[in-house]
Chain A
Amino acid sequence: MGTASDLSRKALLPAAVLGISGLLLAGCGAAPEEEAPGAGSETGTESASTSAVGTENSDYTGCIVSDQGGFDDRSFNQSSYEGLKSAEEDFGIKVREAESTSPTDFTPNVNSMLQAGCDTIIGVGFLLGDTIKPIAAANEDTHFVGVDVTDPEFPDNVQRIIYDTAQGAFLAGYLSAGVSETGKVATYGGAEIPTVTIFMDGFAAGVEYYNEQKDADVQVLGWNREAKTGSFTGDFENQAAGKTNTTNFINEGADIIMPVAGPVGLGTLDAVTEANAAGKDAKVVWVDSDGYLTTEQGEVILTSVMKLMGEAVHDVIEADLAGEFSSEPYVGTLENGGVALAPFHDLDAAVSDELKTELEEIKAGIIDGSITVDSDYSPES
């Protein structure tokens, strides 16, 4: 992340410096500031923006606060961050950022953004919802954006960016059921929160739909739609737990696994690579971003259920610049392209042409409403 400016580094440092203040890290902290005043505001002029808001908006500051994953999580923090960076380039706004390393950083980070005079503060992640709510209520003149914040009860100066990922996961579930050779597919989450379980529920619904259509009996391990219980590793950090859990799934016969657990999913890639070396033929469905591009082990990734957060963040900033801020949530769906299924890349041959056609039909069906993805976790639009 060569472009990271001073604030993200500063946000990491207090934690480290805490006790042995300045002892070791002072040297590391000073250097990066040179590149700080965004190179983007200069390069912004060359991008041919057709937007009415123009390319010179240096009086507008867009700010972003990550959750524990950080802006290099190869997942939703990173894509939201890239969305803001692209807005910086296109509209010439100023950008400030603060990375959180633990939930105790959330409130201080949002407050420091507030004091820095931000026009809009973007909080990334479901977990920041509870932080933003009281701060937004107390600061009515500042606009807030909550990415992945599903709770509908928010003041008028907050716009939520949410995704009906169940739609994309439904397609992935149908695909997995069609590709599976053992007749068992699996999914697990990092923690039981709505933005995670919506993937798992949509995935299981897609498998169910496949079973109805094909009169098949493909089983889903790790999520039970009726009981709403499933498999969770407990956090979004412990890769080893993801690996062991995935090995358990493979031991019980699953050959396609969808981890909804951020970096913990890297453990799934390790487990699948290892199992395949020992003669199995397992595959992974990645989530949030196209795992083929963002991870090192794309060869085992069948597809990814993508949430295109970057564009949503970019568009929300553009609307705010134009004075059209709205507290109506932006809901990403298959229809508006906010949710999509990634290409099959290396495993294209594993998906039959018939299955590809069916997926296109189902996608069209979901968009025109003839197929409803019936998930309790879908956002109320």
Chain B
Amino acid sequence: MSTTVTVPSGSGASPAAGPAPQPQREIVRHWATPITFAVLTVISLLVFALGASGESATFRISTEADAVQIPDIVAPTVPVGWIITLLLAALTVWGLLSVRRRGTVPGWGSAAFAVLFVAGFLVWVVGAADTTTVFLTGLIAGAFVLAVPLIFGSMAGVLSERAGVVNIAIEGQLLAGAFTAAVTGSVTGSVWAGLLAAVVAGALVSALLAVFSIRYLVNQVIVGVVLNVLVAGLTSFLFSTLLSSDSARFNSPPHFESIRIPVLADIPVIGPILFDQTVLGYGMYLIVAALYVGLFRTRWGLRVRAVGEHPKAADTVGINVLRTRYVNVLLAGAIAGMGGAFFTLVNSSSFSKEMTAGQGFIALAAVIFGRWNPIGAFFAALLFGFATNMQYVLAILGTPVPSQFMAMLPYLVTILVVAGLVGRSRGPAAAGTPYVKE
């Protein structure tokens, strides 16, 4: 949904433009975002403001054990519903104006709109539930835990696809990592050995992907799908034969202890998420930051992106396309393997069959609606984790919505965000195409 108009470049602001033939500048107006704003504002009016239950929603933040006590937030549903609707309406008008003026709505505008809408939704839905109080810190912390494997998985996706290899095998890499971490950790009794084994296992799955798709030019999507099935079958087989025969020996891995950073970890709500994590949790932040800087601020990143966008051009200027792809795909597998280790060395006490339960595919979605950008994918994964945990918490509080509809919530949120707020998401041009030197 966009309209294109041609305006003289530099009109108004720059009178310095000379009499020479004026270069023309095109403004592509993206109306999708303000239209989504308008639709959501109407929903807010009908549901959050007019449909408010009249109760007050209470958000608990501190437990008795916390060092810093924050009083509960009590939000009366009716006034909060109206205030949020008015703010959303104001943002909508502003969004329409800024599209008229400059073609798009700035990213922070969409972010502000999304935050307000979610706040409105939370107040409305908690106010309408059987129990009108919720532990906000737990809601956010749980969302974060659910998001960790998605974040690792989406980093693997970004890294591989930026170099032009579609990585459908994230699910398999996660599962291979979870399995080997559990077995190696149990046998050696060392978490570090478990983590190392997970990294190697993830990279091995990636190596198969790389060899088949880069060397033998097999369709990347098909290789990825086959690898997922292969890893699922192999780990289930070994689980049934080896792990369940002696789970004390093969399937009781040691666990990473969380490292608490004093003082900072006491910050309400975000303290435990940012400053009371295991090595893997801190490592995840480092990887996201390193990938962002690496891909967009270094020569290496420029080359990787060139390989993913236009391998022929990259080859012409002397970049080794195939080597870049091999390295990136292997690194991607290593990162996904680490994500797999999170399942068995941090979150769960042991490995169980197909315990990744399709999260590799959700990570793939996070890559796309994070626009192949590490930071974007990070927030996409967090949003998905939040929507999922929100669904769980709402079921506990007791909403009249049937569970099947609640289960759709994360996907519904994803579609809304992708269609309305993120806008066009375009992947690396050469992703999925094998490169053959002529």
Contact = CB atoms under 8 A, between A and B. Distances in A.
A251 B389 CA distance: 13
Contacts of A270: 347-349
A55 interface: no
Interface stretch (B31-39, B77-85, B138-146): B138-146
Contacts, number: 164
A15 B142 CA distance: 34
Interface string A15-26: 111111000110
Decide if the interface of chain B is mainly helix, strand, loop or mixed: helix
Contact-residue bracket for chain B? 35 or more
Nearest to B395: A231
A244 B352 CA distance: 17
B353 A70 contact: yes
A120 interface: no
A240 B233 contact: no
A248 B393 contact: yes
B240 A231 contact: no
Nearest to A29: B237
Contacts of B357: 235, 237-238, 240-241
A48 B135 CA distance: 59
A296 B223 CA distance: 37
Interface stretch (B108-116, B374-382, B400-408): B400-408
A12 B237 contact: yes
A15 B343 contact: no
A18 B135 contact: no
Of B141, B248, B397, B403, most A-chain CB atoms within 10 Å = B403
Interface in B203-255: 222-223, 225-226, 229-230, 232-234, 236-237, 239-241, 244-245, 247-248, 252
Of A17, A19, A224, A269, most B-chain CB atoms within 10 Å = A19
B130 A224 contact: yes
Interface residues of A, number: 58
B350 A266 contact: yes
A114 interface: no
Contacts of A263: 352-353, 355
A232 B407 contact: yes
A244 B138 CA distance: 9
Interface stretch (A2-10, A85-93, A348-356, A362-370): A2-10
A157 interface: no
Given A101-B354, A237-B354, 12 more contacts: A18-B226, A19-B226, A25-B234, A70-B236, A99-B240, A188-B395, A222-B396, A229-B402, A235-B357, A239-B343, A244-B389, A263-B352
Interface of B: 65, 130-131, 134-135, 138-139, 141-142, 145-146, 149, 222-223, 225-226, 229-230, 232-234, 236-237, 239-241, 244-245, 247-248, 252, 343, 347-350, 352-355, 357, 359, 388-389, 392-393, 395-404, 406-407
